[in-house]
Amino acid sequence: MSNERPVLPIPPLKLLHRFRAFLRSVGLSWRTEQSYVFWVKELIKFHNYTHPNKMEKKHCEVFLSAQVLVKNNHYSTQRQAASSFRCFFNKFLQQPLGKLTHAKSTKPSKLKQPLSLREIDLLLSACNTDAHLPISFFIATGVRLQELLDMRICDIDFDLREIWVRHGKGGKSRVIPLPLCLYRSLQLQYEKVLSQHNFDLENEQGYVYIPTWLARNRKTVEREFRYQYVFSAHNLKEIYNDGRLYREAVPRRTLQASISRAIKQSGITKDISCHNFRHTFASHLCAQGCNIREIQTLMGHDSVATTQRYLHRLDVDLSTIVSPVDMLCLDQ
């Protein structure tokens, strides 16, 4: 799935095209747009393609209850679907739903395990060339997967040793320090992208997706090096049927597959995803005694309550607890 928004027909006549145009007009992110449109489509299919104008509150409630009773989805999935319906019916169609009453999920949340320093070393040693820098970047900075994919050349400041995370989750931006361990690797990546971009320019290409608000005032901005993705795709792709070939960010699934292979080769038995690397970053900062407010800023959390989830391992010092069997062995 492309990381870039497709161009909508003008004027947008289909219902979902008009919904997409509405979501863009209120400034929601591309990932949010994908999610909201997905759940509206699922609702329509669930009710045998009934037109949303003929739906009522009960149609949404039955669908949300089915997510728990039939599919056994987690509450966060159910909550995401409910948010999509509230936006679609309340704001877009102007058909207020009121308070939704439905079955609630009792599926427990999964506590993510951070990696130890030994496991980080094992993982990085098992990485191939494509996965080493992204995994190091995740663990060293705590960025989200989509934030890494959206990162442009101009977001890396080598002189001030800063990384700009622009328009992250919730549309928020933040600045994080550039770790010394990434400095040389990112410089090599910079040179690789520059060489790749110069090759594209020689072949009359070199285009990259630019948001409309940025491209409106400058016609050449789509071919400027500073807006190229740090982690760019190997192949060019036609996105807008305009005869141009664009270089997108590396596909999300390609990066995840590369990371999964590295995890498998490392022999680590923990259930690890890209979000575990973010959890590892925060947990190690907590263990070092870093201020909770500083961690909140680095992670890009709205509320400090979200950041406090990473303190669960510090509530009890497990290394000081001696089991009865260990005491027996010590006595002997």
Identify the band that residue 1 occupies on the pLDDT scale cut at 50, 70 and 90: very low
Q: Please check whether residue 49 lies inside any domain of the structure.
A: yes
- List residues bridging with 232 in a β-sheet: 249
The reported pTM is 0.76
Q: Are residues 161 and 224 in the same domain?
A: yes
For residue 60, give every residue at least 6 positions away whose Cβ sits within 8 Å of its Cβ, in sequence order, or none: 43, 82, 85, 89, 97, 100, 102
Q: Domain range spanning residue 65?
A: 15-92
Q: Please check whether residue 327 lies inside any domain of the structure.
A: no
Q: What is the pLDDT of residue 311?
A: 65
Asked if 262 and 127 count as a contact pair (C-beta separation under 8 A), the reply is: yes
DSSP assigned state of 250: P
Listed range (61-65, 108-112, 140-144, 285-289) with the worst mean pLDDT: 108-112
Identify the band that residue 99 occupies on the pLDDT scale cut at 50, 70 and 90: confident
Q: Which among 231, 129, 156, 160 has a CA at the least distance from the CA of 189?
A: 231
Q: Are residues 251 and 174 in the same domain?
A: yes
The whole-chain average pLDDT of the chain stands at: 83
Q: What is the pLDDT of residue 161?
A: 92
Q: Are residues 66 and 187 in the same domain?
A: no
- Assess whether pLDDT exceeds 80 at residue 119: yes
Average pLDDT over residues 16-43: 88
Helix (H), strand (E) at residue 162: strand 162-165
Judge residue 67's burial from the number of C-beta atoms within 10 Å of its C-beta, 0-12 exposed, 13-18 middle, 19 or more buried.
buried
Q: Please check whether residue 102 lies inside any domain of the structure.
A: no
Q: What is the pLDDT of residue 178?
A: 92
Q: Are residues 164 and 245 in the same domain?
A: yes
Per-range mean pLDDT, top range of 229-233, 245-249, 305-309: 229-233
CATH of the domain at 55: 1.10.150.130
Identify the band that residue 289 occupies on the pLDDT scale cut at 50, 70 and 90: confident
Query: Count of domains in the chain?
Result: 2
Do you know the residue count of the chain? 332
Q: Are residues 78 and 186 in the same domain?
A: no
Asked if 179 and 193 count as a contact pair (C-beta separation under 8 A), the reply is: no
CATH of the domain at 230: 1.10.443.10
For residue 163, give every residue at least 6 positions away whose Cβ sits within 8 Å of its Cβ, in sequence order, or none: 141, 143, 151, 155, 156, 157, 175, 176, 177, 178
